Amino acid sequence: MRVDHVYAGYDGTDVLRGVTAEIPEGVVTALVGANGAGKSTLLGVLAGTITPRSGRVVPARGGRPAFVVQRSAVPDALPLTVRATVAMGRWAHRGWWRPLTRNDRRVVDRRMEQAGVADLADRRLGELSGGQRQRALIAQGLAQEAYLLLLDEPSAGLDHHSVNRVRELVAEVAAEGVTVVHATHFAEEARGADHVLSLESGRVVVPDPDR
């Protein structure tokens, strides 16, 4: 996937300012930067939910990416079980109005198992811990069976154990051949990625190896 001279933002104000980068297929790319650097905006551009003012995104292949937002963006009061949440990932293939097929249900079960939330299938999202909730949302993204998985700071606000569980899950997904891009401001997570893309004030920068 290639991003060519992308300018994008909100309400006429550019957050990304001429971003050019290549994202290798089938590996984990860490999108690094401080708050306000443009990480979430770039993820939105890659997901197709934000249209660049200029520039273009050249995907590696067809199909819609799976975009997993921060868990804090999903209201606690939303009366959804874990199973229903993960099943929403199949809407990309079926639409929300069509019942799930046997294969859809099989995909949902497999992704819940992979994410370690199968035993929580009938629990509501609002009842879960932060780590459990984040893994349920990642399972929803995986249920889309997309070639590209985009994660917006999946470890934010999690304890050490939950961070490790999420990291292991991301590595497992990449081993399946899925291209993963996750935003983070943790240097340790960036070092564990196969590829690092650093943003500062909406521009790509070359990271200092001593930092």
CATH number at residue 167: 3.40.50.300
Domain for residue 150, yes or no?
Answer: yes
**0.75 cut: is pTM over it?**
yes
Q: Are 140 and 151 in a shared domain?
A: no
Summarised one tens digit per residue, pLDDT across range 169-196 is: 999 999 999 999 999 987 777 878 999 9
Task: Note whether residue 92 is domain-resident.
Answer: yes
Q: How far is CA 104 from the centre of its chain?
A: 21
Instruction: Tell whether 70 is covered by a domain.
Output: no
With a cut of 70, say whether residue 75 has pLDDT above it. no
Better-predicted residue by pLDDT, 15 or 206: 15
Q: Which pLDDT belongs to residue 76?
A: 66
Q: Which residues pair with 204 in a beta bridge?
A: 199
pLDDT at 55: 97
Q: What number of residues does the chain have?
A: 211
Q: Which domain holds residue 31?
A: 1-65+146-206
Give residue-wise pLDDT tens across range 36-68: 999 999 999 999 999 999 999 998 777 789 999
Q: What are 87-131's pLDDT values in tens digits?
A: 999 987 776 667 889 999 999 999 999 999 999 999 998 899 888
Q: Are residues 118 and 140 part of one domain?
A: yes
Please name every residue paired with 96 in a beta bridge, in sequence order, or none if there are none: none
Q: Give me the number of domains the chain comprises.
A: 2
Same domain, 122 and 25: no
In terms of domains, do 110 and 156 share one? no
The three-class DSSP label of residue 204 is: strand
Q: Which residues contact 169 (CB under 8 A, 6 or more apart)?
A: 114, 115, 116, 135, 138
The fraction of the chain above a pLDDT of 90, given in percent, is 65
Amino acid at 36: G
With a pLDDT cut of 70, the percent of the chain lying above it is 93
pLDDT tens, residue by residue, 122-162 = 999 889 988 898 999 999 999 999 999 999 999 888 888 88
